[in-house]
Every structure is written in C-alpha cells, then in structure tokens.
A and B are shown apart, each in its own frame.
Chain A
Amino acid sequence: MSNLNKMKSIIIEKTLKLDCGKEISNFPLAYETYGNLNEKKDNAILIFHALTGDQYASGINPITKKEGWWNYAVGPGKSFDTDKFFVICANVIGGCMGSYGPGTIDPLSNKPIGTNFPVITINDMVNAQYNLLDYLKIEKLFAVAGGSMGGMQVLQFVSNFPNKARVAIPIACTASHSAQNIAFNELGRQAIMSDSNWKEGLYGEKSINPDKGLAVARMAAHITYLSKQGLQEKFGRNLQERSDLKFGFDADFQIESYLRYQGSVFVDRFDANSYLYITRAMDYFDLTKQFGGNLSKAFKDTETKFFIISFTSDWLYPTYENKDIVIALNAIGADVGFVEIKTDKGHDSFLLDVPDFLSTIKNYLSTTYSNINERRI
C-alpha cells in the first residue's frame, strides 16, 4: 500500500464528455514525471503509453518492481534525456495503474466498476490527459511522443490541441485501426470473455480473476509484437529443457514456454477488463474518418514539427500505414520527417534496445530544442 500512496495522481473535477455520450467528472488520473521543468517551462515532453503500459516509463516501476516500459528511451542521457527534458507520462483512463478505469472501486457499491465503466476512446484518453498540463501549468509542450497506441494518442493530441506541442513523434502506429488489428484485439477479448471467471466483467469481489483468458489474450498479442524472423532466430524449434519431444501437450518447445511465461507474468500486473476497454479504444480509432475521410484535415494549419518512425519488421502497424500519415502531412505542407528503421524485432522495436532508433530520436530532440531556442533569441 505504501507504494500506492506514493503514486502521483490528480482528481479531474471538470466534466469530461466522452465520445460514447456519457459524462465523467471527479475522476483520478495517475501520472509520473522524470527530470525537472525548467524556468522557461519550455522543456516538457508528454509521452503516451501503449496498450499495456502505464505511467512508469523509466527506472523501476514501484508497483511491479520491473523496469519501466520505456526504460531504454527515457532517462538521464537517453533519447528522452531527463537531464535536459521534463518527461511526463500518465496512465490512460481505462487503465489499471491508478487512473479511472474498470478496476476503480465504485464508492456506492464498494465494488470495482467493471463493465459498468463507459466505453472510452483514444480521443477521451487525450482529452483527460490535457487536464494534467493545466495542473502542471505547462502552456506549451516541447514534444509529444509515443509508440503504437501511444502514437495514436500523439496524432489525436496534436489534432485536438493544435500547436500545443512544438514537436510530435508518432512511432509504429496508424491513423486508422485496420481489420487485422481489430481481429487480433477481438481474439484477445474473446479469450478473456470466455473465461468462466470473467462473469460478465463483474469479477474481482472474491479476487478470482479471469487470469487464464487474460494470459491467452497476452500470448496471442505477444506474437503480433514480434517478427517471424525474430522468433525464428531467438527460438527456432529449440526444445524446452528436454532432449526430445514428449508426445504430449506440455511446453515441448521454447517458444511455447516463453509465451506461457509472458502470459503468466502479465496477469499479475494487468486487469482483464482494462484489456477489454483499451483494445476497444484502439479499434475505434479512425482519425481519417473523424475528418471525413481526409486525414490532412486532422492537422490543418499545424505548426508542429512531425517526426514519424516505422520499423521494417513491424507487420502489425506496417510502414505503409505510417507513411499514410506522412503523405497526409506533406499534402498540407507540414514540417515532417520520416524514417523506417531496419530491425528484425517487429512491432516491439520501439520498446527495445534498437540503437539506430534510440540515437536518432535523441539527436533529433536535442538539435530541434536548441534550434528553437536559437531562433527565439
């Protein structure tokens, strides 16, 4: 509990009208910050986490005791250099690390809200997080950045709040969730919902959670985060602590054992209902449709500098989907940089130690920051 007490959190009193039509107010938003806000308040970077992330991007996550999800990229001397920048990360609404979500205890019933929680969208997520900037008294962000669902939040944020950020770095993402993306998310949701412990989402009273379903959802999703080549190189057909096949359904292969492990550790840190809600938010994300089929309109009159990054082996959010964003920005003459990083680490590349990726962001941010300051003088 002591760690929970240390968790930074604000209560958003203001009413937030959700895309589903419902309104929420007086709800918590948990966040963490790294580095210091300078006197001019011009060095703040808001980063957005992906599906299963949380506010603990850097260092050791005080709750899970594991490394923060973006520890390769965020920290002193790293890509998002916390010696230089003030990095802010909030847990999305719908999440399960202190922000308002299906796991939040309803004070009236004293039970988790469960599936009585409203369906939320990426738009709702960024609108909620905007309040944090008011609270921290940040007029203008130096940058917004994020990968995967974090990248979608970047796009939605710059669209909702034009010129609130000088730089936007959407990584390995899309402006419109594809049929394949939705299909994989549905597979995960069905795994959870067919677990008899799920109980229409109203589990949790006696601490019996749909762990099996959630683990299967994670296993399936994990495959989509890696590339075929990466899997083959790492595991091949290697056997798990045995010299021969056992002619049964135990984990004969290392890849099976690896996936089972990934599933089992995931259920310790993640809530099954949050998984349902957040994947739904991703599926509903279609910025192009929000702007009548013309993605360029989402960024009309933008003065933000965009830097879009994709990875060669990412088949979940492939380069051509990232490039659609580049094309939409070029069509309106926006300031946009784009590179596809060569790696066999799949979609997960943005979370991993991919030196080319990490160094390019680091240099891009530091040069751009000093260029902006020079121009101001």
Chain B
Amino acid sequence: MKEEFKVISRFIEEKSRVLDVGCGDGILMEYLSKNKVVDVRGLEISKEKVKKCLSKGLAVIEGDAENDLKQFPDLSFDYVILSQTLQAFMSPENVIENLLRVGKKVIVTIPNFGHWKVRLDLLLKGEMPVTKNLPYQWYNTPNLHMCTIQDFYNFCNNKRVNIYKSISLNGEKVSNITTLNLKYKNLISELGIFLLEK
C-alpha cells in the first residue's frame, strides 16, 4: 500500500464512519474496513473504478464530489478523505466547505507544487513542470487548481479551518510539518497530508 494511505489510516480511529471521496479502486477502503473495522463508503467518478469497487463488495457510488456531496447530511461521517484530487475540481473552495460540512474531520492530501523539482523546472527550463506526482502536460492535465503546501496552509488560515495535523511525504520519508519548518517542508515535500477540522 502507498505510504500516503498508511499515513491516512493512522489518522483514523477504530470503529468510525469514513467517506472516501475519489476512492479509485477502493484500495484504501479495503484496508480500512479490514484493519480498522471502520464503516467505509466511497464516491468515485470513473465507472470502471466504481465497478471494480462494487465487485469487491464495497459501498461505492458513482458520482462526483462537486455535485454529489450535497446528498450527505451534515456531520454524517467521522472522517472524510480526499486523496490527491482537490486540484482537479472546478471549485476546490466549495468542495472543502462541503467536506467539512459532511465530516467531523477531513483528511486532504495534495501534490505539492512548491517542491524544488517543480520550481526548478519552471525556473530553468521555462516549461510547465512534469513530475512523478504530476505526470501531465499542460494541455492534457486534469489538474485545474494546483497549489503548494504553503498555499494550502494560508487557505486554511483564511477560512478559519483548523489544521489538526500536517504531514510531509517525500518518497517514503514521513515527517511533521510545523509553522516553524513550513518554508523548508514546502520545498522538499512531494505530498502534503492534512487532518482538518472546522
């Protein structure tokens, strides 16, 4: 399992209700339901992936977060997970608001556009960065709203969203992000994982 999922699953307490938004093939859902005995639901936009999840007996519905989060009542989940999809939404702001409405706690992971390789690409080559976590060209990328860890921090501060925990992932290396090391982590992290609360 991906290092990112291991971090996420450590955030989640046993016997809680979880919604995985953009659950993909349901790998994290399977892990959580087997190892953490959580009651886990998924929302996924790709028909192919939804069928895979349902074939595994997972409670996944086909839909997209921008339209289909509406149907979930306020605070109906203990945790809502959004793994590396925030940047693909038309309105990340609305999605985050809805996640915080539906979940008591929200786990968001973002590919960090502030990583030094990304910065160097643009600085030295003068081209839009293409990396392992961001493998698309500018003309075919689904990522409409890229941000950096620092950006996301500022966003949460402005929106008065509590960042409960924030984790940096650089390859397999896991470390904490604090206000003191934020500038540095923003340079060396490939992924940022945030545990949020309203």
Contacts and interface: CB of A to CB of B under 8 A. Distances in A.
Interface in A324-351: 326-327, 330-331, 333, 335-342
A338 B55 contact: no
A339 B59 CA distance: 11
> Which size class do B's interface residues fall under?
20 to 34
A368 B33 CA distance: 13
Interface string A349-377: 00000001001100110011001000000
Nearest to A370: B57
A305 interface: yes
A327 B71 contact: yes
B47 A364 contact: no
Given A336-B59, A337-B59, A337-B60, A360 B47 contact: no
Q: Which DSSP category, helix, strand, loop or mixed, fits chain B's interface? A: mixed
Interface string B102-128: 000000000000000000000000000
B72 A360 contact: no
Given A331-B71, A333-B17, A339 B51 contact: yes
Contacts of B54: 307, 337, 339, 360, 363-364
B174 interface: no
Contacts of A367: 55-57
B57 A331 contact: no
Contacts of B12: none
A356 B48 CA distance: 9
Contacts of A330: 61, 71-72
Interface string B40-68: 01000001001101111111111100000
B73 interface: yes
A339 B76 contact: no
A341 to B, nearest CB: 8
Given A333-B17, A333-B76, A340 B57 contact: no
Size class of the A contact interface (CB-based, 8 Å): 20 to 34
A61 to B, nearest CB: 30
A339 B71 contact: no
Contact of A338 (B17, B56, B61, B73): B61
Nearest to B49: A339
A331 B55 contact: no
Nearest to B62: A339
Nearest to B77: A333
A342 B50 CA distance: 12
Interface string A289-301: 0000000000000
Interface in B19-37: none
Contacts of A326: 61, 71
Given A331-B71, A342-B47, A305 B59 contact: yes
A371 B55 CA distance: 12
Contact of B51 (A331, A333, A356, A368): A356
Nearest to B50: A339
A330 B62 CA distance: 13
A366 B51 CA distance: 14
B69 to A, nearest CB: 10
Contacts of B71: 326-327, 330-331
Nearest to B56: A367
A341 B71 CA distance: 21
A229 to B, nearest CB: 18
Given A339-B51, A342-B47, A360-B51, A331 B56 contact: no
For B17, B56, B57, the residue with the greatest tally of chain A CB atoms inside 10 Å of its CB is B57
Contacts of A368: 57
B152 to A, nearest CB: 28
A364 B62 contact: no
Interface in B168-198: none
Nearest to A332: B73
Nearest to A334: B59
Contacts of A339: 47, 50-51, 54, 61-62
Given A336-B59, A342-B47, 7 more contacts: A331-B73, A335-B41, A337-B61, A338-B50, A339-B62, A340-B62, A364-B57
Interface of B: 17, 39, 41, 47, 50-51, 53-63, 71-73, 76
26 contacts: A305-B59, A326-B61, A331-B72, A333-B17, A333-B73, A333-B76, A336-B59, A337-B53, A337-B58, A337-B61, A338-B50, A338-B61, A338-B62, A339-B47, A339-B62, A340-B47, A342-B47, A359-B55, A360-B54, A363-B54, A363-B56, A363-B57, A364-B55, A367-B56, A367-B57, A368-B57
The 10 tightest CB contacts between A and B, nearest first, are: A363-B55, A367-B57, A338-B61, A368-B57, A327-B71, A339-B50, A335-B59, A330-B71, A337-B54, A339-B62
Interface of A: 305, 307, 326-327, 330-331, 333, 335-342, 356, 359-360, 363-364, 367-368, 371
